[in-house]
Amino acid sequence: MADKIEAYVEANKERFIEELKELMRIPSVSAQREHDSDTQACAEWLVAHFQALGLEARLVDKGGKPIVRAQAKGKSSRRVVIYGHYDVQPEDPADQWKTPPFEPTIRDGILYGRGSTDDKGQSFAHIKAVESLLKTEGELPCEVIFLLEGEEECGGEALSRYVREAREELKPDAVIISDSTMYDENTPAITYGLRGILTSEFTVKGPDQDVHSGAYGGAIANPAMVLAQILSACVDPDGKILVPHFYDDVAPLEKWESESIEKLGFDDQAFVGELNVPHPHGEAGHCTLERIWTRPTFEINGIFGGYTAGGSKTIVPASATAKISIRLVPHQDPERIRDLIVEHLRSVCPDTVRLEIADFATSPPVLFDVNDPTFQAAQEALRRGFGSDPVFIRCGGSIPVVSTFVEQLGCPVILMGLGLDSDAPHGPNEHFSLESFIRGTKASVHLLRTI
């Protein structure tokens, strides 16, 4: 029986890929207002696609971008929610793409384009799994509700609101998500932990306008210098965060976990080689995987102020700004950490400037029990879909709505990532392995049959 469905996937994979390319041509960039109509069009494309497959599908409006909800009953009374996001990151930096971001292109079995891995390609695998089950068996083995949101990449809260309101009606036995990574291209993985995140913007303001650095430099504080000093007071050169009490609630790594990380035998040389950086770098006393998966970070995502065009211009800038993200790990509480950071910033900022701190967007970390029986079903499904043994990993990224699923639905959440960190999500030339797409589709078929 399962072979018949796998055969359907094989026989139809070229069409699946063409359909995914069509979905990727819609530039559903959630962070940019000028793409609002594209985001809407993308949601409508998905609803029509689901309806053509025979699902009951509609848009749900909870403020912000529409949620795509699609549902099909199953043979058993078990029910799964499949989550994904149809919004994508901006194409930036536009001039570094080898082929245009919204003209999906295949080179050597790899699909290039914005959203290929994050998250159109990964979530489309589940849509095609549902199609394959419906077309070969006429009915799904369990009930499926897709919830695809359009504002994962921009910190929207529509889906969280919906899940809180509809928790009784949803009540799934499991949530399935493909929006993370495999361990490597031949090793599928179940992600049992995600970091949380805080994002904000700090602006240091000095004189009302840029002023001559010969006339004023040295006699008033320079906002760009002060910003650099404030940021240096937040993190030491190794990446250790200097905010008092920041690490109070960070759980030490359990023995099984350090052993499991050790056993994965992560290759630091390959890791830096791919990125063309000289050495790994990070908090002392932790290996690379521990740093990415289990330790908090304080990052500057962008920093600007004063004169940034060609040549020199001798000014003291009126202001300087840094865009910041702070990754959190279990059991750090985002609100408490935000308060600690604000207090620290105020205490280290001199009174010669004004410091403006933008509102923080927050999302808590999540950690699952790997002994959950549903994880065994997922392991077996991945083994069958990929033809190799899956491993348990954590991921350093964040998917804000997952903590709402945990809190509101109280069921296991299976993160079966199909991407790779090296797929360049959020960067130029984002890509996704078509082999992973097809194997992931098969794994999803197996999971829906056994869950």
Does the footprint of ligand BES cover residue 188 (CB under 6 A)? no
Residue choice 39, 180, 408, 433 for contact with ligand BES (CB under 6 A): 180
166-171: list long-range contacts, CB under 8 Å, 24+ apart.
167/408, 167/409, 170/81, 170/145, 170/409, 171/79, 171/409
Stretch of 106-114, 279-287, 350-358, 392-400 lying at the interface with ligand BES (CB under 6 A): 392-400
The nearer residue to ligand BES, 180 or 441, going by C-beta atoms, is 180
Stretch of 164-172, 206-214, 281-289, 396-404 lying at the interface with ligand BES (CB under 6 A): 396-404
**Is-cis flag, bond preceding 119, omega within 30?**
yes
Does the footprint of ligand BES cover residue 151 (CB under 6 A)? no
Q: How far is the CB of 340 from ligand BES (least distance, A)?
A: 20
Chosen from Mn ion, ligand BES, none, partner binding at 377 (C-beta under 5 to 8 Å by type): none
Q: How many CB atoms lie within 10 A of CB 72?
A: 20
Q: Which residue has the tokens 């921009």?
A: 154
Residue choice 6, 87, 91, 119 for contact with Mn ion (CB under 5 A): 119
Q: How far is the CB of 75 from ligand BES (least distance, A)?
A: 32
Chosen from ligand BES, Mn ion, none, partner binding at 305 (C-beta under 5 to 8 Å by type): none
The nearer residue to ligand BES, 303 or 361, going by C-beta atoms, is 361
The token pair that represents 345 in the structure block: 């910033």
**403: alpha, beta or left, given left = phi > 0 and alpha = psi -120 to 50?**
alpha
Does the footprint of ligand BES cover residue 116 (CB under 6 A)? no
Q: How far is the CB of 85 from Mn ion (least distance, A)?
A: 6
Does the footprint of ligand BES cover residue 197 (CB under 6 A)? yes
Does the footprint of ligand BES cover residue 181 (CB under 6 A)? yes
Q: Return the amino acid letter for 231.
A: L
Helix (H, G, I), strand (E, B) or coil at 162: helix
Name residues whose C-beta falls within 8 Å of residue 259's C-beta, 6 or more positions apart in sequence: none
Question: What is the C-alpha to C-alpha distance for residues 190 and 418, in angstroms, rounded to an integer?
Answer: 10
Site for Mn ion, residues 151 to 210, rule: CB under 5 A: 179
Angle at alpha carbon of residue 177, lines to 190 and 9, rounded to 5°: 90
The nearer residue to ligand BES, 181 or 297, going by C-beta atoms, is 181
Q: What is the DSSP string of 399-441?
A: -THHHHHHHHH-S-EEE---B-GGG-TTSTT-EEEHHHHHHHH
- Closest to 357 in 3D by CA, of 152, 187, 250, 199: 199
The nearer residue to ligand BES, 8 or 375, going by C-beta atoms, is 375
Q: How far is the CB of 194 from ligand BES (least distance, A)?
A: 6
Task: Name the β-bridge partners of 88.
Answer: 29
Residue choice 6, 87, 91, 118 for contact with Mn ion (CB under 5 A): 118
Question: What is the C-alpha to C-alpha distance for residues 312 and 344, in angstroms, rounded to an integer?
Answer: 34
**Is-cis flag, bond preceding 334, omega within 30?**
no
Q: How far is the CB of 288 from ligand BES (least distance, A)?
A: 15
Residue choice 6, 91, 118, 423 for contact with ligand BES (CB under 6 A): 118
Does the footprint of ligand BES cover residue 43 (CB under 6 A)? no
Residue choice 101, 115, 397, 440 for contact with ligand BES (CB under 6 A): 397
Site residues (CB under 5 A) for Mn ion? 118-119, 179
Can you give the binding site for ligand BES, defined by CB under 6 A?
118-119, 152-153, 155, 179-181, 197, 363, 395, 397-400
